[in-house]
């Protein structure tokens, strides 16, 4: 079944989300949290892949407060500059309200079995971490999240599964930040950290500058198994 955009009624206003449903018509939910490029073709592809794996995927437009419907291409220099400008304008706290509202909408979706988790990339990787810490997400996955090291205290009371993929050569998460993440979270019973020592930021983005098919396949396979185990 082809995905489509649907409206989400948030506490601060309505915004759109891309929704993809498995061929069976039902499945556990996964909230997909965008990179700094908006709900673009790559995010829709991720949602479609999750639907093929048996999940109801929902990717909300988290930049709607700045400009609704933004879709940027990381191969185009003006789009890349605009994406970083949007990142600086994005407010994490209001974004987290939108995520909580989207998670509620996903759970209420007639196609969703009731269990729902979250996964995100880059900015969305940080937001997936915060979703694990602040919401009732049943399981969360973050890919190369930026800024997690500044919010490690939020994981203190986390009691639901969280998987974090860490790129060893991430230009936006330097070695000292990665060391702080490991020091704080390695022993946490609900958290699993997976390292990709030779990979840079966005190694799992198909067609991206640092895409590594082998590492992406390893990370994505682990993510699907992790989500199936936690949500089924």
| Residue 163 token pair | 């998987």
User: Per the residue annotation, which of 201, 210, 228, 229 is the catalytic one?
Assistant: 201
Task: Give me the helices (H) in the chain, please.
Answer: 41-52, 77-89, 92-108, 123-134, 175-185, 213-231
**Which of 64, 14, 15 is closest to 38 using CA atoms?**
64
Rg of the chain over Cα atoms, rounded to whole angstroms, equals 16
Residue 201 catalytic?
yes
* Rounded CA separation 199/67 (Å): 32
User: Per the residue annotation, which of 149, 170, 199, 200 is the catalytic one?
Assistant: 170
Tell me which H or E stretch contains 224: helix 213-231
* Rounded CA separation 21/218 (Å): 24
Task: Point out the residues that are catalytic.
Answer: 170, 201
């Amino acid at each position: 079944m082809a995905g489509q955009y649907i409206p989400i009624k948030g506490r601060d206003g309505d915004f759109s989300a891309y929704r993809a449903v498995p061929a069976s018509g039902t499945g556990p939910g996964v909230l997909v949290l965008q990179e700094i490029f908006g709900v673009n073709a790559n995010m829709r592809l991720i949602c479609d892949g999750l639907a093929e794996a048996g999940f109801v995927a929902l990717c909300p437009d988290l930049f709607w407060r700045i400009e609704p419907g933004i879709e940027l291409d990381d191969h185009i220099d003006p789009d890349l500059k605009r994406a970083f400008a949007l990142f600086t304008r994005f407010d994490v706290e209001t974004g987290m309200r939108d995520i909580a509202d989207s998670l509620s909408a996903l759970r209420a979706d007639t196609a969703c079995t009731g269990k729902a988790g979250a996964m995100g990339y880059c900015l969305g990787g940080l937001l997936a971490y915060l979703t694990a810490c602040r919401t009732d997400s049943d399981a969360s996955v973050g890919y190369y999240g930026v800024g997690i090291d500044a919010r490690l205290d939020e994981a203190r009371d986390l009691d639901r599964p969280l998987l974090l993929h860490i790129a060893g050569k991430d230009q936006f998460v330097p070695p000292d930040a990665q060391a702080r993440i490991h020091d704080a979270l390695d022993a946490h019973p609900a958290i699993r950290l997976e390292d990709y020592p030779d990979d840079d930021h966005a190694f799992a983005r198909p067609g991206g500058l640092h895409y590594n098919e082998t590492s992406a396949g390893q990370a994505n396979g682990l993510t699907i198994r992790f989500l199936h185990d936690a949500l089924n």
